[in-house]
Amino acid sequence: MAKEYISINIKNNTNGNIPMSIMSNPSNLTDISNQTTEYSWDVTSLSITTENTVIIEYRPNGLVDFTSYSTPLLTPSLQGVLDALNTLGIGSFFSTTSGGNTYIKNYDNDYVFGQLDVFDSSGTSVTWNVNCIGTTGNNDIQVGFLFISQPNPYTASTPIPTTFDGQQVDITGVTSNQPTTKIKIINLTTSTFILNTGLGSGVAYSYSFNAIYGNAYLIDIYDF
């Protein structure tokens, strides 16, 4: 039997170290070969001091609700964040730089990724994450004297300062002209929902909760 030789030329067009399986295994959820949908998080301003927990939202294609995956940050560095994310076992997270900015990236056609947070689970933190593509409506948040109001469309993740145990956090707004807007308030420390609701187009909403000392909260608002 004559021998056959296979030659494979691989070129990395990024400046990151991208883990991959050369032969590609469709049953391996961590294999990003032939995956074309890119997910990217700008972590240029990430400065790890007391942060000890990483959380990321993910969901299979075809589902609406995200699942939050939380895991310890064992090494206080960007590589430590990547190592923590890769314990999820879906895709392969890696970092790249472009124009002075640093990004965490992943490629996956079967799963959708949402908010990424790196936080100190022993302190009090509130993150207000909005990803609304609709062209009407607005989303507001107020904590003490801090008030932020953003008309749609708007996409940003903002850390909200809290000053004492039991401080009230108020979110109000009017949903966009997209068919559905999801509003979720999650206590990341206890992995419990304070609110998880879906509203139709053009609906006014108002919700409040108390931020308890030592707990981390995520307010997630997105339309589709």
CA separation for the pair 36, 109 (Å, rounded): 6
pLDDT along the chain (224 residues), means of 10: 70 71 68 84 88 89 85 94 95 91 93 87 84 96 91 89 83 97 92 94 97 90 94
> What DSSP state is assigned to residue 84?
H
C-alpha pair distances (Å), 36 with each of 32, 33, 39, 86, 105 = 8, 9, 10, 19, 12
Contact, 141 vs 148, CB < 8 A?
A: yes
Sign of CA dihedral 87, 89, 92, 93: negative
pTM metric for this prediction: 0.66
Cα distance between residue 201 and residue 136, in whole Å: 9
Burial 154-178 (b: 16+ CB within 10 A, else e): beebeebebeeeebebebebbbbeb
| Pairwise CA distance, residues 176 & 134, whole Å | 5
Contact between 22 and 12 under an 8 Å Cβ cutoff? The reply is no
The pLDDT of residue 19: 67
Going from the N-terminus, what domains does the chain have, and what CATH number goes with each? 35-122 (no CATH), 134-150+164-224 (2.60.40)
> Pick from 69, 101, 98: which is nearest to 85 by CA?
69
